[in-house]
Each structure stands twice: as C-alpha cells, then as structure tokens.
Amino acid sequence: MHHFIGLFYIWLLITMEEIKIHDKVFVPYISFEEIEHAIKRMANTIYSRFGNERPVFVGVLNGVVMFMSDFLKQYPGECEVAFLQLSSYDGTQSTGDVKRKMDLSVDLTGRHVVILEDIIDTGNTLEALYAYLKAKPVKSVSVGTLFFKPDAFYKELEIDYIGMSIPDKFVVGYGLDYNELGRNLPDLYQIKE
Ligand code: IMP
Ligand code: MG
C-alpha cells in the first residue's frame, strides 16, 4: 500500500508540468488539495475566535476571489462578506504605492472585521488597508492570509491567521496572477529561476 502511494506521488510529480505565462516559466508548487486543507484549518481557527459574532470578511480583489469563495464554504458560522480593490503590483514587483480603486459598500460600524488576503508579501497593501479600516468605527480589525512571505514582509503589523508560509519567490495560480494571467489555475505555481 505504501509503495503504491509513493509511486502514485511520483507519477503525480511527473505529470504536473511546467507552464509558461507571458515570458516566464513556472513549476508546480502547492496542490489545490493542500490549499484546501490550509483553508479548512484557517476557517475553523477563525470560527473558534468569533463564533456567531457575525464577522465581516473583507477581501481585496481580484486575487482573493478563489480563496474567499473556498473559505466561505468552510466557515461554519454566521458571517458577512465585502470586497474592495487595491493595487500595488506592476508585473512581478511591488511598487510600494498602494492605490484604492474601489470603496467598501458595507457599513462596518460596530463590527468585527477580518481582512482576508490571498497573499501578504511586503505588507504595503495590508498596511494601507488596515489603516483605512481601523479609521472606521469598527469593533475590531484582524488579519488573515492564505499565503505569507515572511522574508519579504517588513511591517510591524501583526498577522493573526496564516494559511501557509512560503519563500520570497513569485507565485501564480489559485487567484494570483502574473500580469493578469494565471489566476484560473487551481494549484499554486512558483517561478522557475
Ligand atoms: P504586498 O503589498 O507587497 O504585501 O503585496 C500584496 C499583493 O501583491 C497581493 O495581494 C497580491 O495581489 C500581490 N502579490 C504579492 N506577491 C505575489 C506573488 O508572488 N504572486 C502574485 N501576486 C503577488
Ligand atoms: Mg491581491
């Protein structure tokens, strides 16, 4: 049985192939199945903190769509959801200049707000979003991210919930893009250097 699983895994590695997006090559990195496990753990942890206090999950478009959709399906309690759009990335580089392209449509007065990010890299986006939400009359603001790059992060902010920590290398898939392509890949791919 063990041999069978081992062989199956090797077969899986061989059949999962490199992909090319624009001018760059990416290799398979984290499977959708592993991502789902991490999301389930996060949903249960966040639920154990908020229970039925009806938190509002705030997501940043477009990267967070896949994560938010899978996260909500795993969250076992009452909750609401809101989105906004921010942008700081140009190609594979964070520009450090975060622009808000869209405003929140939900009234957050007296609410527990949980920022849900697909990925936290330098922390520029998070810092801007955190300050924007903290300035509102909310009850609390906390932060969860599916992927976290600890070696790139340079802010003082606390990240309350982390799905998976990954090295400081550019990734695509599971909602994350390279110049708008690659978001629809169910698995996560890492840039080949
Ligand atoms: P930060 O402001 O540097 O923390 O970057 C956060 C945003 O940049 C994320 O919400 C993503 O949209 C994007 N981003 C950061 N790292 C990656 C990556 O490796 N691949 C794709 N997008 C990324
Ligand atoms: Mg994003």
Mean pLDDT of 112-130: 94
Ligand 1 proximity of 119 Cβ (cutoff 6 Å):
yes
Across 13-17, 100-104, 146-150, the highest mean pLDDT is recorded for 146-150
Protein residue whose Cα sits closest to atom 3 of ligand 1: 122
Whether 64 is in the pocket of ligand 1, judged by its Cβ within 6 Å, is no
pLDDT attached to residue 89: 57
The CA 120 to ligand 1 mean position distance, Å, reads 6
Q: Tell which wins on pLDDT, 109 or 2.
A: 109
Given a cut of 80, whether residue 97 has pLDDT beyond it is no
Taking Cα atoms as reference points, which of 150, 122, 119, 123 lies closest to residue 35? 119
Nearest to 68 by CA among 118, 123, 104, 105: 118
Ligand 1 neighbourhood includes 123 CB (under 6 angstroms)? yes
Ligand 1 atom nearest to 89, measured from its CA: 8
Handedness of CA 34, 126, 156, 42 (dihedral sign): negative
- Residue 167 structure tokens: 């090295």
Ligand 1: atom nearest CA of 176 is: 21
In the annotation, is 70 catalytic?
A: no
pLDDT at 11: 73
Residue type, 173: G
Q: What is the average pLDDT across 67-93?
A: 86
| Top-confidence residue, 106 or 44 | 44
Question: Exposure of 82 by Cβ count < 10 A (0-12 exposed, 13-18 middle, 19+ buried)?
Answer: middle
* Residue 70 beta carbon below 6 angstroms from any ligand 1 atom: no
Give the pLDDT confidence of 135-160 residue by residue, as tens digits.
999 999 999 999 999 999 999 999 99
**Mean residue pLDDT across the chain:** 91
> 174 C-alpha vs ligand 1 centroid, how far in Å?
13
pLDDT at residue number 3? 78
Q: Is 90 exceeded by the pLDDT of residue 102? A: no
Among candidate residues 23, 103, 107, 121, the one labeled active-site is 121
- Give the pLDDT band of residue 16 (cuts 50, 70, 90): low
